[in-house]
Structure 1
């Protein structure tokens, strides 16, 4: 069923493939941020190449016996990948010494792939026509004050929640920030003994995430419900065998995925003053 991955015909043992899969999955769970709050749609299978990116409310028309959806946008589902090498001498030495093979190269490749996915979710891929949470036209925008002192962060986030509610996006709200703003949220509120992040944490019922792919000073508040946005997954993250060159093994970690922001007004982006 997965012959396209080239694993069955590869010279690598089943045990090594098992350990490779474990290393990649462990790394993905540690690194991926967007999948912690975005609903997943799929996996739909590796053969899915295009997907609609419009809102669930759409028009259908029948003319001359043909029914169609005018102006409905479709986007190609991109393939994301990262290559790695396993050196044959390393594998032979590990087997001879009865030790597990060092899979650091697989973990590094998986880390790069996961960052690529997160970057696509937040910033899109302009050359492919893929919009991200920060770049899709129609997102709400609010001025961001000083989040390092006083109640600036709490006041801004309350304003963001209010703005989303006014647009009818009244379900659970999620805050995603760059690492520098995440640190700033840990200042002590004068006279309360509480950190600012504790108040925000309570307001959002714990839905606060920091994303290392975000540029410094970046923050966004969103209503991450499947009717508003999701991450479409065709082929979930897997490792394929590509070739053997000079006895060394060339592998590729890959996936197919597409962020779909069906209602851009379910996102509020904070802009520094």
Structure 2
């Protein structure tokens, strides 16, 4: 079944290839969460939910029945953003070879990428989805003034040491808002190094800036046994309808964050 309705669109594969490449390139420029989270999937567009297993997962046997404890199920919600291509622009491109302006595609792809990051970091209360900033079991740590001295490096090193002491071993990734990120663009006195470079060296380069995290920062152990991003339908463009001769499209995906161990997250507050 062509659920993306591409075969009903009144144009060929060439335009779809341009749209697809535009979606990928635009999303890459602002998407953050899936740059450090392991991916689980893609599982397929028809998958509507996934299980999230805690470390305490086990089977219990009672009265000839077996049930799994330490497991919950979450919905794979659909995220989407719409855009439109004017019929005259498409006609000019097909008849006269005029390059078609796909700025609307880029804007929609970036809006969808930002919505995905918002869900990853903050969750969705209505859907019962946890985010990295509010998952059960996270550790909070006081954030010192990252604009002075070596407070930022010391804070982050202390958080990494805390994870290590708990036995949370693996790749540590730091995500923060632009305001905090730009505070780190300075030479650290006595070292000759940028503060951001010292932190990158500490974390193996895994430092990320997200516009959804204004005034916030967190350090996570981004290994699949602690967390991942479940993907049903990965980001793809579909054809919606023809209205007033103009072509309407939707970029969609189905994704959900799975936090399996909140202790692998340190939030700076």
TM-score range, shorter chain: over 0.9
Which of 240, 251, 254 lines up with 1:256 in the alignment? 254
* 1:97 positional shift: 2.7
Query: In the TM superposition, what are the counterparts of 1:80-159 in structure 2 within 5 Å?
Result: 80-159=79-158
Q: 86-95 vs 106-115, which deviates more?
A: 86-95
Structure in which a larger fraction of residues adopt strand: 2
CA distance in 1, matches of 2:128, 2:44: 22
Query: In the TM superposition, what are the counterparts of 1:229-244 in structure 2 within 5 Å?
Result: 229-244=227-242
* 1:158 positional shift: 1.0
Q: Please, which runs of 5 or more residues in structure 2 have no aligned partner?
A: none
Q: What's the counterpart of residue 164 of structure 1?
A: 163
Q: Please, which runs of 5 or more residues in structure 1 have no aligned partner?
A: none
Q: What's the counterpart of residue 269 of structure 1?
A: 267
Q: Is the 8 A contact 1:95 1:101 kept in 2?
A: no
Aligned residues between the structures: 269
CA distance in 2, matches of 1:196, 1:76: 40
Q: Is the 8 A contact 2:135 2:259 kept in 1?
A: yes
Q: Is the 8 A contact 1:149 1:187 kept in 2?
A: no
The two structures have a TM-score, normalised by structure 2, of: 0.96
Q: Is the 8 A contact 2:57 2:70 kept in 1?
A: no
Query: In the TM superposition, what are the counterparts of 1:1-273 in structure 2 within 5 Å?
Result: 3-70=2-69, 72-215=71-214, 217-271=215-269
* 1:99 positional shift: 2.1
CA distance in 1, matches of 2:142, 2:22: 41
What's the CA shift string for 1:146-167, capped at 9, x where partnerless? 1111110111011101111121
CA distance in 2, matches of 1:16, 1:60: 51
The two structures have a TM-score, normalised by structure 1, of: 0.95
Q: 73-82 vs 48-57, which deviates more?
A: 48-57
CA distance in 2, matches of 1:239, 1:25: 10
* 1:135 positional shift: 1.2
Task: Report the secondary structure of 2:212's partner residue.
Answer: coil
What's the CA shift string for 1:238-271, capped at 9, x where partnerless? 1111111121111110000000111001000001
Q: Is the 8 A contact 1:109 1:253 kept in 2?
A: yes
CA distance in 2, matches of 1:22, 1:128: 31
Root-mean-square deviation (CA, aligned residues, Å) is: 1.3
Q: Is the 8 A contact 1:27 1:110 kept in 2?
A: yes
* Counterparts in 2 of 1:197 and 1:72: CA distance versus 1, 3 Å: same
* 1:67 positional shift: 2.2
